Amino acid sequence: MHQTNKELEAAAKRNMDFAKLFLLLPILLSALSNLEYSTAQSFNCSSPIGCRALVGYITVNNTNLGAIQSLFNVKNLRNLLGANNLPLYTPRNHTIPAQQVIKVPINCVCYNNTGTSSGAPIYKVQAGDGLDHIATEVFSRLVQFRQIQAANGIPDPDLITPGQELKIPLPCSCDDVDGERVVHYAHMVKSGSSLEEIAREFGTDEETLAKINGIKAENELIANQPIDVPLKACNSSITTDSLDYPLLASNGTYVFTANGCVRCTCDAASNWTLNCEPSGNKPSKWDACPPMQCEGLSLGSSNTSGCNRSTCSYAGFNNSIIFTSLVQDSSCSTSSPSNDVSRISLNWDFLSILFLFSFHLFQ
């Protein structure tokens, strides 16, 4: 039997329409069955602007920083170093043993009240991979296979092909917590750990952890799942129209910004103030770094006059310039009242000792 080209085309089209329907049905079904799974692991996020967040990757085998950098598509090694407070000269082939936690910086965006990593990581399927292996081993359970399935519109989780590129939707958030700027950290809960322990380790409190994770009772803390841990961020002078706004960094980390021209360090000991200075790096988008000065003071430096101090602070960047801001603070006005305060508290201590003493006497 002989078919004309037209007939063949029509037949092919019918088959394709049928195939499309056939493909769509499981997507719809899996989207429905996904709901209970995805809400268990995703973080609430409603901020209109994106931000920087962290995920705690647990290494499966012995590996090195370069391998982790490429797995998560972190643009520069220095960003990975900064998130882990490793010295800048740490080489790419620096060995990381199995079962170690490495903080990986990601770009986060909120969509539909949920935060996910934006753009990266993209994972290229290897021969022999299954979605579950990718979720539980390669990405150390930071994500569930159903979330990868949903993010990539994969109808059948058993049907992925080597070479296929998958978006990995890592959990994150950009929301302020109790009016404070924080870096959201996706921490993998170890079996046997408690909210109290996690709160203590990361300098937050149990109530906050329970609230933002929707945990009502201690037994709702599930091991081997990520929990949203808000890490207090350093204050900065960043302006809302800066391209890197809100520039979040947590204690003990450093970040590079303004196309690599500026390095900012967050140290709780410096009164939670972000400390930025020229990085000395070659910029990524500009031929040379634009000037980083405030009226004669260079970025990051201070001058003092008596008890007054002016610091040239980083305030952001746009496509052509780096913004700075001269921040004034003074130790004169704060030192004398604080002396008064300590004198008053001494008096109170004295009074309370007297009070306790008399209490004992009257018993």
Ligand X SMILES: *[C@@H]1O[C@H](CO)[C@@H](O)[C@H](O)[C@H]1NC(C)=O
Rule CB under 6 A: which residues touch ligand X? 44, 60-61, 85, 91, 93, 95, 112-113, 137-138, 203, 212-214, 235, 251-252, 268, 271-272, 295-297, 303-306, 308-310, 318-321, 329-330, 334
Closer CB to ligand X, residue 137 or residue 196? 137
Which residue's CB comes closest to ligand X? Answer: 306
Catalogue the long-range contacts made by 18-24 (C-beta closer than 8 Å, 24 or more residues apart).
23/155, 24/155
Q: How far is the CB of 235 from ligand X (least distance, A)?
A: 3
Residue pointed to by tokens 């508290």: 345
Closer CB to ligand X, residue 15 or residue 113? 113
Q: How far is the CB of 352 from ligand X (least distance, A)?
A: 28
Closer CB to ligand X, residue 18 or residue 297? 297
Say if residues 212 and 172 touch (Cβ distance below 8 Å): no
Q: How far is the CB of 38 from ligand X (least distance, A)?
A: 7
Say if residues 140 and 57 touch (Cβ distance below 8 Å): yes
Task: State the Cα–Cα distance between residues 136 and 224, nearest whole angstrom.
Answer: 9
Task: State the Cα–Cα distance between residues 42 and 150, nearest whole angstrom.
Answer: 13
Closer CB to ligand X, residue 295 or residue 340? 295
Q: How far is the CB of 8 from ligand X (least distance, A)?
A: 39
Alpha helices per DSSP H over 42-120: 65-71, 77-83
Task: State the Cα–Cα distance between residues 254 and 267, nearest whole angstrom.
Answer: 9
Residue pointed to by tokens 């990524």: 284
Closer CB to ligand X, residue 4 or residue 319? 319
Q: How far is the CB of 169 from ligand X (least distance, A)?
A: 12
Closer CB to ligand X, residue 101 or residue 138? 138
> Which residues, other chains included, contact 135 with Cβ-Cβ below 8 Å and sequence gap of 6+?
141, 143, 144, 145, 147, 148
DSSP type of residue 118: -
Residue-by-residue DSSP string for 91-129? -TT-EE-TT-EEEEEEEEEEETTEEEE-S--EEEPPTT-
Q: How far is the CB of 360 from ligand X (least distance, A)?
A: 38
Closer CB to ligand X, residue 5 or residue 93? 93
Closer CB to ligand X, residue 61 or residue 352? 61
Backbone angles phi, psi at 279, to 5 degrees: -85, -25
Query: Angle at Cα 139 formed by Cα 133 and Cα 142, nearest 5°?
Result: 110
Closer CB to ligand X, residue 10 or residue 321? 321
Q: How far is the CB of 305 from ligand X (least distance, A)?
A: 3
Q: Could you tell me the two tokens for 141? A: 């359970």
Residue pointed to by tokens 């170690």: 100
- Counts of helices then strands in the chain (DSSP H, E): 8, 18
Give me the amino acid identity at 184: H
Q: How far is the CB of 328 from ligand X (least distance, A)?
A: 7
Q: How far is the CB of 321 from ligand X (least distance, A)?
A: 5
